[in-house]
Structure 1
Amino acid sequence: MRALRFSLSLILAALATATFGQVTGDPEHGQQVWKKCAICHMMGPDARHRVGPVLNNIMSARAGGKTDYRYSKAMTAAGQDGLHWTEDTLDGFLQAPKSMVPRTKMSFRGLKSAGDRADVIAYIGLFSGGAMAAQIDDGFAVSADILAIEGDLEYGEYLSSECTTCHQADGNDDGIPAIVGWETEDFVTAMHAYKEKHRDHPVMQMITGRLANDEIAALAAYFKGLGD
């Protein structure tokens, strides 16, 4: 059991830094690029609106959609006209904000480097756990019976004890991506994608192959609960 618990930190690190959907950036470098964004924005469980809005869970979200933040009329109108934040639209906006959304109140001139944009988008994606996890594998689905398993929070906490020596339970990253707050269905689906060898990663396939369905459910429930 100790070997299993030790291996879980590797699982969760891989989940947090894997390539989801079309995101191919390096979130570790993206964290450094994020410092330019952090002057105005925050992410994480204790984030609050500053000059700019909180950027938690923005992947797939409508632009200007946070009801407790006062956006510019231009950004609100862009969202009403159908603008949603995806890897592509974020890339365009971060390259030249005022070209994409004229009269936005965002004063940042943009990131010229395509690599920097990809990396910071990958980092932002780590704080949109549900949206990113849902993209992990097109066409892959977990059975209703597995999704119906109710995770034991206490057991999940026990299994995660070695993981949280690296991944902070309060949602801060400190150089290691946050993993709290994922929707349980997304977390379970991601784990089973490796377990059933739908995703090609030999180490992850081996590690998740050791986990029983109830253990995966317990971990999903525990880490989801930390983000509530």
Structure 2
Amino acid sequence: MTRPGPVVFAAFYLALVAPAAGQSGFGDAEAGAKVFRKCFSCHMVGPDAFNRVGPHLNGIFGRRAGSLEGFKRYSDGLKRMGADGLFWDFDALGAYIENPKAFASDTRMNFDGLDDPQERADVLAYLRQFSASPANIPEAAPTAMPREVELSEDILALQGDKDYGEYLSSECTTCHQLDGDDQGIPAIIGWPSEDFVVAMHAYKEKVRPHPVMQMMAGRLSNEEIAALAAYFEGLE
């Protein structure tokens, strides 16, 4: 007996969730901009968007799954789904962001999902503004989200020593796994170096409210943070 391909499983999952999603329709794009802050550590959208840990989301509506040119970190499952004919529309995106790992079990998207149907509808309305069709939905203004903490150019320009970063990484990898599996704890492999540096300084300055991470970051010098950033950025 031939095992159904991944797109068949996705279609089955969509059949379970699509009626509820379709009835709700698009939500409030302005509210969705606030919900999107939960996504911004990995994804960008807007005229100046580029790929980060995850692909940028300009033009996501109507895009074949796993197909954005230049983005190299898609899971094999999403690439297979795209090859089998999965395109991102309202229902498919709604199902994916509700429970990413139920939709694509090997996805690299380390996000628990949005349980609230209204939040899903709102964030999809927000993202919809950055897809070109239909033409009567204009491009939205740039999403110029400020960094969590403002750092000096000297800190941002530090070139970390990858070998030193690997030496320092053992405390990080007691929780954050090198195989990319989150197990409820976000993966940090492949993070752009600047994103890692900003996040660690946000913990260090207690902008991010996680006491263990605040303690760990507080022990690190600027050079040590840069070294860890260089090491983890280079991992696949």
TM-score, normalized by length of structure 1?
Answer: 0.49
Structure with bigger helix share is: 1
Greater CA radius of gyration, 1 or 2?
2
Instruction: Specify which structure has the bigger relative contact order, considering alpha-carbon pairs within 8 angstroms and separated by 6 or more residues.
Output: 1
